[in-house]
Amino acid sequence: MNSLRERKKAQAKYNIVAAASELFDRDGYESVTMRDIATAADVSYQTVYNYFPGKARVLYEILLRDARRAEQQIFTALAPDSDLWPGLGPAMNQLVISVLRMLELHDMGYWRTITAEMIRQPETFGSLIGLLDAEFREGLARILQVARAREEIAGTVDLDTLTQVVIYLIDHAALRVIALPAADADEVADEVRRQLEIVLTPYLVVPSGAKP
């Protein structure tokens, strides 16, 4: 059982991340200081540094939580290990929806700032794309493994390679929504669904008696 001290530390860390997320959304990442975060979280300046060595690490934690929340939504909606499994097509559709809904957690200006910082400061922010990809890769790999176990896709498919191709398509869709102010998320979602269908179709198992 967690001690009272551990629970307080966990709550303080949660408050810091929650306060930073609101400040970054409202004022922009560049404008927010660690002192601003401490004030908003109602903790001391030193307390913030006890948990996070810098502002970039706070942002890292926010994105990690966003990614894990979206991943959990995928697992909850798909229930890949139960009899509620909807099939590969609906599962992939839910994956696309979950990724684009993750973008709705913050203003597009927030995501554009993050994208710009990843390019400008690769030594600090470069791992963030890999972090988010890793979270979604786990969910996607699980979907494909279940589909193969249920003989919806061929057993000879290299799932690692297929996973990487699908991640690339979804990353590209997300970046389009972030980078292009005129991009319509629903239209982008429809486009990436069509792309996924093209990629996956050659590997689908055709049921006995069905036309190829």
CATH number for position 36 = 1.10.10.60
Same structural domain for residues 123 and 31?
Answer: no
What pLDDT does 132 receive?
A: 64
Phi-psi sector, 109: left (phi>0), alpha (psi -120 to 50), beta: alpha
Domain range for 18 is 1-52
Show the tokens assigned to 141: 């790999």
Same structural domain for residues 145 and 163?
Answer: yes
Instruction: Name, in order, each residue with C-beta under 8 angstroms of 19's C-beta and a sequence gap of 6 or more.
Output: 37, 40, 41
Buried b (16+ CB within 10 A) or exposed e, 181-194: eeeebeebbebbbe
* 209 part of a folded domain: no
Domain count, the chain: 2
Same structural domain for residues 164 and 106?
Answer: yes
* 90 part of a folded domain: yes
Same structural domain for residues 93 and 182?
Answer: yes
- Alpha-carbon distance 83 to 90, whole Å? 14
CATH classification at residue 78: 1.10.357
Same structural domain for residues 38 and 73?
Answer: no
Neighbours of 61 (CB within 10 A): 18
Same structural domain for residues 145 and 166?
Answer: yes
Same structural domain for residues 92 and 186?
Answer: yes
Q: Is 31 helix (H, G, I), strand (E, B) or coil?
A: coil
What pLDDT does 210 receive?
A: 43
Same structural domain for residues 100 and 18?
Answer: no
- The DSSP symbol for 29 reads T
Show the tokens assigned to 110: 């927030």
Per-residue pLDDT of the chain (212 residues; tens, 9 = 90+): 468 778 888 899 999 999 999 998 888 888 899 999 999 999 999 999 999 988 888 988 888 787 777 667 666 655 555 567 788 888 888 888 877 877 887 878 778 877 887 777 777 666 666 666 676 777 788 888 888 988 999 999 899 899 889 888 988 888 888 888 888 888 998 999 999 999 999 999 965 444 44
What pLDDT does 133 receive?
A: 67
* 89 part of a folded domain: yes
Do the beta carbons of residue 67 and residue 28 sit within 8 Å?
Answer: no
Same structural domain for residues 17 and 70?
Answer: no
What pLDDT does 115 receive?
A: 80
* 212 part of a folded domain: no
- Alpha-carbon distance 212 to 207, whole Å? 9
Same structural domain for residues 69 and 145?
Answer: yes
Do the beta carbons of residue 192 and residue 168 sit within 8 Å?
Answer: no
* 57 part of a folded domain: no
- The radius of gyration computed from the CA coordinates of the chain, to the nearest angstrom, equals 20
Same structural domain for residues 67 and 166?
Answer: yes
* Alpha helix (H) residue ranges in 28-158: 34-41, 45-51, 55-78, 88-103, 108-120, 122-149
**Among residues 14, 34, 52, which one ends one of the domains?**
52
What pLDDT does 126 receive?
A: 65
Instruction: Name, in order, each residue with C-beta under 8 angstroms of 159's C-beta and a sequence gap of 6 or more.
Output: 141, 144, 145, 148
- Alpha-carbon distance 109 to 68, whole Å? 22
Same structural domain for residues 3 and 67?
Answer: no
